[in-house]
Amino acid sequence: MTTATTKPAFDLDYSIDDFVPSERRDSQYLYRALEDAMVELATGVPGARVLDVACGTGKQAMRIAARGCTAVGIEASAEMIGVGRWLQPQSEARMLRSLAESLPFADGSFERVICQGSLDHFADPHAFMREAARVLTPDGRLVIALANFEGLSCRLGRLVDATKRRLQRPRPPWRLYWETPEDHNVRGDLPFVRSLGGDALVLERCVGMSMFWLFGPYSGLLDALPERAAGALWRALDRAARSRPQHADMIISTWRRTEAGTCQTTAG
Ligand SMILES: C[S@@+](CC[C@H](N)C(=O)[O-])C[C@H]1O[C@@H](n2cnc3c(N)ncnc32)[C@H](O)[C@@H]1O
The model's pLDDT over 183-198, given as tens digits with 9 standing for 90+, comes to 999 999 999 999 999 9
The model's pLDDT over 146-178, given as tens digits with 9 standing for 90+, comes to 999 999 999 999 999 999 999 999 888 899 999
| Mode of pairing for the β-strands spanning 70-75 and 94-97 | parallel
> What mean pLDDT, rounded, does the chain reach?
94
Q: Which carries the bigger pLDDT value, residue 13 or residue 223?
A: 223
The model's pLDDT over 9-48, given as tens digits with 9 standing for 90+, comes to 898 989 999 988 899 999 999 999 999 999 999 999 999 9
For helices 216-224 and 25-42, angle between their N-to-C axes, nearest 10 degrees: 90
pTM (predicted TM-score): 0.93
Which CATH number fits the domain 22-267, given the four candidates 3.40.50.20, 3.40.50.150, 2.40.30.10, 3.40.50.2300? 3.40.50.150
Q: Which pLDDT score is estimated for 1? A: 37
Nearest ligand 1 atom, CA 54: 22
pLDDT range class, residue 89, cuts 50, 70, 90: very high
124 lines ligand 1 (CB under 6 A): no
Q: Which pLDDT score is estimated for 7? A: 53
Handedness of CA 173, 214, 193, 40 (dihedral sign): positive
- Say how many CA atoms lie within 13 Å of 3 toward its Cβ: 9
Q: Which pLDDT score is estimated for 259? A: 77
Report the residue among 121, 183, 184 best suited for mutation to probe ligand 1: largest number of ligand atoms under 8 A from its CB. Answer: 121
- 263 φ, ψ to 5°? -65, -45
Spatial distance between the Cα atoms of 221 and 229, rounded to a whole number of angstroms: 10
Q: Return the CA Rg of the chain.
A: 19
Q: Which pLDDT score is estimated for 193? A: 98
99 lines ligand 1 (CB under 6 A): yes
- The mean pLDDT of 262-266, rounded to a whole number, is 57
Nearest ligand 1 atom, CA 80: 27
Report the residue among 75, 80, 146, 180 best suited for mutation to probe ligand 1: largest number of ligand atoms under 8 A from its CB. Answer: 75
- Say how many CA atoms lie within 13 Å of 27 toward its Cβ: 11
Domain ranges of the chain: 22-267
Answer whether residue 264 shows pLDDT above 80: no
Answer whether residue 91 shows pLDDT above 90: yes
- The mean pLDDT of 120-134, rounded to a whole number, is 97
List helix spans (H) across the chain. 25-42, 59-66, 78-87, 125-135, 152-166, 190-194, 216-224, 227-242, 259-267
pLDDT range class, residue 2, cuts 50, 70, 90: very low
Express as a percent the part of the chain with pLDDT over 70: 94
